[in-house]
Every structure is written in structure tokens, then in C-alpha cells.
Amino acid sequence: MNIIVCVKQVPNTTEIRIDPVTNTLVREGVESIINPFDLYAIEEAIRLKEQYGGKVTALSMGPPQVEDALREAVSMGVDEIILLSDRKFAGADTWATSYTLAEAINKIKDYDLIMFGQQAIDGDTAQVGPGVATHLDLPQTCFVRKINELSDNVIKVERLMEDGFDTVEMTLPAVITVVKEINIPRLPSLRGKRTAKNAQLTVWNADDLGAGSDKIGLNGSPTQVVKIFSPTLEKDGQKYEVDTDEAVEILYNKLKTLTNK
């Protein structure tokens, strides 16, 4: 059972900076962490490997510093790590990102299951996993809370819904995104950290993928951020010192005025 886990390195929430020219997140030189939701995907992939055999490959796209996140994945139990790093990838929206990841997965070829965390904390779109499935023309299920069955060609999962969960069966290969209810991620072991330090990192650029410049990075992004700003917090209120009957009448009239707007 060969599993690919797509991992994203995100800025620490206390260190977010925006490039005023491109309106994109500044990632280089900023303290970063593995996207917390991706830790659950990594953990579940490792558990499946331990149960069914095979290998786990962690795949990520970003600047050279993303190597740290991939090596952390190795310290947890991932077998192989691949980094997609090229200036041409910069500024990609979810469509261009999912296209680039899909091209890398096509290059890997040997896989049974592709896993993602439910979303990234820096964008919260939850679009990249489904986007990769669409580019690869694979079945997909999002918000998986439990894997009930996994065989050579079938996976059965429980998908979290607003009012409970439903059970979904798909043929393999397939794409799933997982929620934090699925497991508790393990801490890296001392042996894992030693392994991570010496692990071989494979780095691919745009030419290695054969990706056209019109489909990657800012040039390949059909959506672009026009403006980013911090919202201002405004408070407005009125105080009345009246008896109960007057208070009810005042509240009624205020609500009536708001309703008629």
C-alpha cells in the first residue's frame, strides 16, 4: 500500500506578513510549521503503512525552507520526501497548486492512496485536495473521520457531515482529506529524528515536471488576491436608564427599525 501525503508548510499564526506588491503571504524568512491538519494525514498514512505494509511519501510545494517540514514528517515515520521548489511556482492559487501537485504525483506514478489534511490554516479553502483529485480524474472523499476498510482496490471511510456521518466506498487509487477526529498524531522519536537528519530529499522544479508556465504560479492562477487588509473593530452602543416597560418599548422600536432597513 503506497500512500502519498501532501503536506503544506504554513507561517506560524503569530508571524504572518503580507507582500504589499503581490498581496500574497511572505513565506521566506518567516517562522513556519507543518499545517496542523496535515499532521493527522501524516499519522493516518503511517498507521496504514504499519498495518498493510508499503511506503509513505510526503510531497510538498514551496521555498527551500519547506525541507524542514518534510524532515519532520520523516521523524514521524514517513519513508520518502519530495519538494517542489521553483520561483515559477510562487504565488499559486489553489488551482495552480493542485495542478502542480498532480503533475508531481503523475511523475511518482506508483501510489494507491493520496491524503491531505482537511484544509490549511493560512487559507482555509479546503480546495487543494479536491483539486488534485479533479486533475488526476480520481474518486475523492473529504472530511474523513475514520477508515473502516482498505484492500487492494477498495477503501471504505466514514465522512463527517453536519448532522453526523455517512459511509463512502471508493475504488483505488483515490484521494481523501481527513479531519482531526481521525487520530492523535505521534511525536517524533529520537530514532526518527536521526533518520530525518540523513534522509535523502528529492527536489523537483518546473522543468522536472514538464509543467507549462501558463499553468503554474501567478501566471497559472485564475484567481488572484486584489487587496488584503486587517479589519477594523468598531463598537457602537447606547445606554438607557429606564424602567422595565420603557426598556421593552425602546428595544421593540430599535429592532423594528433594523428590520425595516
Task: Give Cα 133 distance to the centre of its chain.
Answer: 14
Q: Which domains does the chain have, with CATH numbers?
A: 2-209 (3.40.50.620)
Query: Given a cut of 80, is residue 41 above it in pLDDT?
Result: yes
pLDDT value for 85: 95
Cβ-based burial of 205 (10 A; exposed 0-12, middle 13-18, buried ≥19): middle
pLDDT confidence tier of residue 30, bands split at 50, 70 and 90:
low
Higher pLDDT, 80 or 32: 80
Per-residue pLDDT tens over the stretch 125-164? 899 999 999 999 999 999 999 999 998 799 999 999 988 9
pLDDT at residue 131, as a whole number: 96
Report helix, strand or coil for 109.
Answer: coil
pLDDT given for residue 168 in this prediction: 96
- How many CB atoms lie under 10 A from the CB of residue 245? 8
Give the model confidence (pLDDT) of 163-213 as tens digits: 899 999 999 999 999 999 999 999 998 999 999 999 999 999 999 999 888
In terms of pLDDT, which residue wins out, 100 or 245?
Answer: 100
Residue ranges of alpha helices (H) inside the chain are 36-52, 67-76, 94-108, 128-136, 190-198, 206-209, 244-259
Query: What's at 24, amino acid-wise?
Result: T
Q: What is the pTM assigned to this prediction?
A: 0.81
CA dist 62 and 147 (Å) reads 30
Model confidence at 17: pLDDT above 70: no
pLDDT at 60 over 70: yes
In angstroms, rounded to a whole number, what is the distance separating the alpha carbons of residues 98 and 120? Answer: 13
Amino acid 236: pLDDT = 73
Task: Answer yes or no: are the C-beta atoms of 83 and 62 closer than 8 Å.
Answer: yes
Pairwise pLDDT comparison (103 vs 248), residue with the higher score: 103
pLDDT value of position 27: 60
How many Cα atoms occupy the beta-carbon half-sphere of 111 within 13 Å? 25
For residue 25, name the pLDDT band (cuts at 50, 70, 90): low
Q: Could you write out the DSSP letters of every residue in 29-92?
A: TS-EEE-HHHHHHHHHHHHHHHHH--EEEEEEESSGGGHHHHHHHHHHT--EEEEE--GGGTT-
Please report the pLDDT score of residue 29 as a whole number: 62
Q: Residue 94 and residue 126: Cα distance in Å, rounded?
A: 9
Task: For residues 63-90, give the mean pLDDT.
Answer: 95
pLDDT in tens, 224-253: 777 776 677 777 777 777 777 788 888 888
